[in-house]
Amino acid sequence: MLRYYGVKPLSRISAKLQRSVQALESRLNRLEVYGAKAHVGHITACELAACLEVDVHTIYKWIHKENLPYKMIIAKTRTFMGIDIQSFWKWAKKNKSCLNFFKIPKNTLIPEPAWVDEQRKLDYVKRPKYEHKKWTAEEDARLWRMFYQEKRNQREIGELLGRSRNSVQRRLERLRKKKLAS
């Protein structure tokens, strides 16, 4: 029963074992198994996003476009994507360009491989030059021109201005709202 708990619905396990769902739940409680997620040992996409301090949609993008390994976990009332921490670190080593290791708090996903600390130092050195600097009117004009007239993409503009792609994206959104309001 434990081998399939979290992988198959309790109703299917109960039918196979010819026991009621309540009997299985009672047995799981006696075995001190209090949840499919804890039993399987995976974290959800939302939990991973919180640990890495990224949006959950970034995790879903990695799953669907970058082949981040996951396993469907079946709990009593819902199904969710479970991610094994060891598998995540193997994937992260192969896909270092997807992550900014400098922004990942130390030992947030244990066990943290030794290479992560070195990558964290490298990403710190590569961070955008003007990461937390306020935007000037001159930079706003230059940003607007590069995006709408020169048709450059946000990543390229970020490299030229010493800003992150996300910073450029957020600033463009604010400038659009500002222009619409005036």
Cβ pair 88, 67 in contact under 8 A: no
Q: Does some domain include residue 13?
A: yes
Q: Are residues 45 and 23 in the same domain?
A: no
Q: What is the DSSP string of the chain?
A: -TTTBTTB-HHHHHHHHT--HHHHHHHHHHTT---HHHHHT-EEHHHHHHHHTS-HHHHHHHHHHS----EEEE-SS-EEEEE-HHHHHHHHHHTGGG--GGGSPTTSSSSPPHHHHHHHHHHHHHS-TTTTPPPPHHHHHHHHHHHHTS---HHHHHHHHT--HHHHHHHHHHHHHHHHH-
Q: Does some domain include residue 118?
A: no
Per residue in 40-76, pLDDT (tens digit) is 467 888 888 888 888 889 899 999 999 999 988 776 6
Q: Are residues 54 and 109 in the same domain?
A: yes
Q: What is the CATH number of the domain that holds 62?
A: 1.10.1660
Tokens 């074992």 belong to residue: 17
Residue numbers of the domain that contains 74: 41-113
Q: Are residues 54 and 77 in the same domain?
A: yes
Q: Are residues 94 and 63 in the same domain?
A: yes
Q: Are residues 23 and 47 in the same domain?
A: no
Q: Could you tell me which of 44, 18, 39, 17 has the C-alpha nearest to residue 28?
A: 39
Q: What's the domain count of the chain?
A: 3
Report the amino acid identity of residue 104.
I
**Mean pLDDT within 87-96:** 92
Q: Are residues 59 and 98 in the same domain?
A: yes
Q: Does some domain include residue 53?
A: yes
**Mean pLDDT within 106-130:** 80
Q: Does some domain include residue 11?
A: yes
Q: Are residues 52 and 15 in the same domain?
A: no
Q: Are residues 82 and 104 in the same domain?
A: yes
For the chain, the maximum distance between any two Cα atoms, rounded to a whole number of angstroms, is 73
**Would you place residue 103 in the very low, low, confident or very high pLDDT band (cuts 50, 70, 90)?**
confident
Q: Is the pLDDT of residue 134 over 80?
A: yes
User: Exposure of 68 by Cβ count < 10 A (0-12 exposed, 13-18 middle, 19+ buried)?
Assistant: buried
Rounded percentage of the chain residues whose pLDDT exceeds 90: 27
Q: Are residues 23 and 62 in the same domain?
A: no
Q: Are residues 14 and 50 in the same domain?
A: no
Q: Are residues 20 and 82 in the same domain?
A: no
Q: Are residues 17 and 60 in the same domain?
A: no
**Mean pLDDT within 9-34:** 65
Q: Does some domain include residue 165?
A: yes
